[in-house]
């Protein structure tokens, strides 16, 4: 959860920096900041999906556990 929040904050900060650099006319720095913001955004999405998959997998294992014990 902490890692997800860190990537969200960094994505917002980097897109803000990109907008600032773009407004000053420094397109190279704006491009670099925008690319880093996009990377942080997609890393955020990746960790959110991983967290959901892990939670679903744990729920499926917990649901299947009584059936395994009954058959054993």
Radius of gyration of the chain (CA): 20
- List, for residues 50-62, the tens digit of each pLDDT value: 999 999 999 998 9
Give the C-alpha separation, 67 to 4, whole Å. Answer: 35
pLDDT of residue 58: 92
pLDDT of residue 64: 83
- pLDDT over threshold 80, residue 15: yes
Q: Is 22 helix (H, G, I), strand (E, B) or coil?
A: helix
Q: Quickly count: other Cβ atoms within 10 Å of residue 40's Cβ.
A: 20
Give the pTM.
0.79
- List, for residues 1-10, the tens digit of each pLDDT value: 899 999 999 9
Instruction: Give CB contacts under 8 A, 24+ apart, made by 45-48.
Output: 47/3, 47/4, 47/7, 48/4
């Amino acid at each position: 959860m902490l890692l997800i929040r860190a990537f969200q904050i960094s994505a917002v900060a980097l897109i803000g920096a990109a907008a600032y650099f773009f407004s000053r006319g420094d397109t190279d720095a704006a491009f670099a900041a925008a690319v880093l913001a996009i990377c942080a955004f997609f890393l955020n999405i990746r960790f959110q999906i991983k967290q959901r998959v892990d939670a679903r997998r744990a729920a499926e294992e917990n649901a299947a556990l009584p059936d395994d014990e009954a058959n054993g």
